[in-house]
Structure 1
Amino acid sequence: MKRSVTDIKLTVKPVFIGFEHQYYYEGPCRMAGGDAIKPGFDAVVQGKMLKGFLANVEKYVASTGANVLEPAIVRGTDDWDIKDSYFEEMLADDQKTDLYVVMSNFGANQILVEFCCRTSKPVVMNPTKSFGAMSTAPAQRRGADILPAFDWPEVSRYCSILRAEKAVRTANILLAPRFDSTTPKAGGNDSFTCLSDVTRQLGCHFRHVNVHELMDMMNPLPEEGNATTPGRATPNITPEEVARCEEMADEMMASADPCIVDKGFLVKSLVAWTVVQKLMDLYDCSGFTAPCPDACSTRRLNEQQFTFCLAHSLNLEQGFGSACEYDITSVVCMIAEMALSNSAAYMGNTLPVVVTEGRIEWPVNVHEEDVAGISLEDAANMYSVIHSTPCRKLHGLEAAADAYALRHFAYDQGFGAIQRHDFTADAGQKITLCRISPNLDEMLIVSGEIVTGTGFDTDNCNGGFVFKVADTRDLFKKQMRFGLHLPLVYGDIADDLEELAQRLGMEPVRA
């Protein structure tokens, strides 16, 4: 079954480690007097503490959409007993747990340290202003994965970051190469240099289908099988699915403003998307990419009159990573961004606006009539992103669909349905862009703000926008170490991406 980022749930296990004095006595481990140091009093107080702890778990953890398991409760005593039964109770759900949220009491320090070291899963402490560092410091120095939450809202934030990490580490990505399965002849040459390294470090896996076989599947299965796989039963489009594509085309054309594409060409692009979705479902995938230029040069896109552009747009608005030009890096980045932001991602050629020798050099495909009002001074810290794969869920995967237009990619013949988004209407919108380096050692994280859209009324790979950054020259020099496409989402998730990068074993690079 295919898996969107919206399907990813974090599983959280609350753990309460109590500590009870069994006798009445005073001294340097007793910080009260009277009834408070009598046997049984600790149990009463800690019962109230447990109730408050679980209320906060409900408010700050369950509210994130996490699956919260039944709490594990153990109690040490002033006999300083450490029993295997404690850890059996606390670790009973370890295999399915993604995060432990722990509340411990003074005196149970050694139990807590050993628990943190026995599990490989991250542990976040109840963020009260107490003595947590007494246990977290020795545990972390021994290899435990400790998340230092300052307050309960930060516990919620860690849940979001860990959910994004889970989305990346559990992703299967469908690849449709023509030649090399790692990089194409043209396009995403700046993607990962070794997919085995990606699996080792990030955890995601890859599923392959030859792009010729995929394109054969865009017609109902002949009795003798497809040309590339004669005699085999393959998941070709069915007549019923073609009929559904016809219905979808009518629905999309009715809502598009404007609609500058023939229905027949839109249906062919929807057929391509349907086949991609079937293969993603067959191989349990969370993302997809195909090599646009490599596939284009077969002339089969021309003969079958489609492009993959609309497939990427429709995948993205459902929360699946989907990237042009066999850019596997962008697919992984999109999955991370969408899981953190709960908004659809967008990618494109990301290029600087160059102000030099008293003039503005606009990047290719930025239409000068769209940026005529931008001054030399304002242009000094601007960038652009251009591609034909926006979608209708940029403001939120669960939000109402954005307004859109439908146009076509091919200038002469009019095939290759593409969506257009009016980015000018989103002027002032904060955005976050990122890209992982080809060798997985760094993640570039960029904060920006949309200035104006460009190319809305054009065909081919021309739509996009111009955006402000802190320092164009600084970003450009950093980008040269990462690659052309900087996938983005709406909103400011830069700090979360920085923490996620570190958890994935990468050094964050901010711009």
Structure 2
Amino acid sequence: MFNYFDEIPADEGIHQEARALIEGADKVDITEEYLCSDLRYFHAARKMMERYDCNAFTTPCKELCASLLPQKNKCVPCITHSLNKDDRIPSACEEDLTVWMAMMMMYLTRRSVFMGNPVLVPAGSKTLEQLGMPRLLTQPGRVFDHDVLEIHHAVPVRRMRGFDQPEQRYELTHFTTQGWGAHYHVDMAEEEGQVVTFGRFNRQGTKMMVAVGHTLGCEFRPVYCSPAVYYEVEGGAREFRQALAKGGYGHHQAIIYGNYVKELQELGEIVGFEVEVFR
């Protein structure tokens, strides 16, 4: 990947793209120079995809960081995933092919898709304080009177309302404490009670679990995977997490605006995969 990155110069075209993103943002907390590094990564990904005739993208995250290549080049894949998805290209973090497959919901719904880590926030608690990791992860900013699901990742999108609808407002911020690694902040709770569909395939790629919920809130955090979105899940957040584990589905969730359970069931019948509906 970084062989392609080295072929993409930070020329005037890249700087024009960076300035356009900066000018369109409500708030900017990253330099143009650092944003250009992330746009070089984006164009490197597209160049590699074109070379191998690909129509989707994924890349490792922790392994990539361990290589020190992001530190050397001052870039992360986050905004690449966001730009890809808003351009109708499935793009998943951490080489997660089963959530990547669930992003086909974009084609069915004509809407862009968010993905992230589902964390159970138990009633009356601040989960991350209990885990003893407040320096690594930011604790929830509010306490709920019932179990809810928090989903966070630095790959929000601007076309969750639809590819033919006005793009959502955004901020530009950085992933790292050093100030580099561009990603969006998009308020995915701007419409209170927004109905959403969650989806993920099992490890064999033969079965998809879907659930319905609605948004309760959204928080922007200073670094790491942000935003964090709080969701009510029909059937219960705790029970949903348990069903994912017991069914061998794994972790990340793909989230799309609207209730598309019926349409996904019909698609499963046509394409040939089972749809398990959590209620």
Relative to the length of structure 2, the TM-score reads: 0.90
Residue of structure 1 equivalent to 2:35: 266
Give the AA of the match of 2:175. Answer: F
CA distance in 1, matches of 2:187, 2:206: 36
Residue 469 of structure 1: CA displacement? 0.8
Structure 2 counterpart SS, 1:360: coil
1:390 aligns with 2:159: no
Q: Please show how residues 295-314 of structure 1 align to structure 2 within 5 Å.
A: 295-314=64-83
Alignment match of 2:117 (pick from 341, 349, 357): 349
CA distance in 1, matches of 2:127, 2:242: 18
Q: Please show how residues 39-78 of structure 1 align to structure 2 within 5 Å.
A: none
CA distance in 2, matches of 1:340, 1:464: 25
Residue 443 of structure 1: CA displacement? 0.8
Alignment match of 1:461 (pick from 206, 225, 229): 225
CA distance in 2, matches of 1:279, 1:271: 12
Q: Report if the CA contact (8 A) 2:25-2:171 is conserved.
A: yes
Alignment match of 1:492 (pick from 259, 262, 271): 259
CA distance in 1, matches of 2:238, 2:173: 34
Residue of structure 2 equivalent to 1:164: none
Give the AA of the match of 1:496. Answer: E
Q: Deviations over 1:278-300 (max 9, x none)?
A: 22223332210000111110111
Residue of structure 2 equivalent to 1:478: 243
Structure 2 counterpart SS, 1:325: helix
Structure 2 counterpart SS, 1:483: coil
Q: Report if the CA contact (8 A) 2:214-2:231 is conserved.
A: yes
Residue 361 of structure 1: CA displacement? 4.6
Give the AA of the match of 2:4. Answer: M
CA distance in 2, matches of 1:328, 1:291: 11
Give the AA of the match of 1:403. Answer: R
CA distance in 1, matches of 2:159, 2:51: 25
CA distance in 1, matches of 2:13, 2:224: 26
* CA gap 1:426/1:284 in 2 versus in 1, 3 angstroms: farther
Q: Please show how residues 277-292 of structure 1 align to structure 2 within 5 Å.
A: 277-292=46-61
Residue of structure 2 equivalent to 1:368: 140
Structure 2 counterpart SS, 1:424: coil
Alignment match of 1:407 (pick from 159, 164, 173): 173
1:216 aligns with 2:8: no
Structure 2 counterpart SS, 1:449: strand
Residue of structure 1 equivalent to 2:134: none
Q: Report if the CA contact (8 A) 1:242-1:271 is conserved.
A: no
1:510 aligns with 2:277: yes
Residue 406 of structure 1: CA displacement? 0.4
CA distance in 2, matches of 1:366, 1:396: 30
Q: Report if the CA contact (8 A) 1:445-1:498 is conserved.
A: no
Q: Please show how residues 156-171 of structure 1 align to structure 2 within 5 Å.
A: none
CA distance in 1, matches of 2:171, 2:232: 25
Structure 1 counterpart SS, 2:94: coil
Residue of structure 2 equivalent to 1:442: 207
> What is the CA RMSD across the aligned residues, in angstroms?
1.7
Residue 505 of structure 1: CA displacement? 2.9
Structure 1 counterpart SS, 2:44: helix
CA distance in 1, matches of 2:15, 2:55: 26
Q: Report if the CA contact (8 A) 2:4-2:47 is conserved.
A: no
Structure 2 counterpart SS, 1:467: strand
Residue of structure 2 equivalent to 1:417: 182
Q: Deviations over 1:430-468 (max 9, x none)?
A: 1111111001232100111011002x2522213120011
Residue ranges of structure 1 left out of the alignment (5+ in a row): 1-213, 220-235
Residue ranges of structure 2 left out of the alignment (5+ in a row): 132-136
Q: Deviations over 1:242-266 (max 9, x none)?
A: 3221101001111112100011110
Q: Report if the CA contact (8 A) 1:351-1:484 is conserved.
A: no
Q: Deviations over 1:455-510 (max 9, x none)?
A: x2522213120011122232112111201101111111111112222333332211
Residue 271 of structure 1: CA displacement? 0.5
* CA gap 1:440/1:410 in 2 versus in 1, 3 angstroms: same
Larger Rg: 1 or 2?
A: 1
Higher relative contact order (CA 8 A, sep 6+): 2
Q: Report if the CA contact (8 A) 1:408-1:416 is conserved.
A: yes
Give the AA of the match of 1:311. Answer: T
Residue of structure 2 equivalent to 1:73: none
CA distance in 1, matches of 2:266, 2:120: 27
Residue of structure 2 equivalent to 1:69: none
CA distance in 1, matches of 2:49, 2:164: 22
Q: Report if the CA contact (8 A) 2:18-2:36 is conserved.
A: yes
Residue of structure 1 equivalent to 2:216: 451
Residue of structure 1 equivalent to 2:19: 250
Relative to the length of structure 1, the TM-score reads: 0.50
Q: Report if the CA contact (8 A) 1:257-1:403 is conserved.
A: yes
Give the AA of the match of 2:154. Answer: S
* CA gap 1:427/1:367 in 2 versus in 1, 3 angstroms: farther
CA distance in 2, matches of 1:396, 1:423: 14
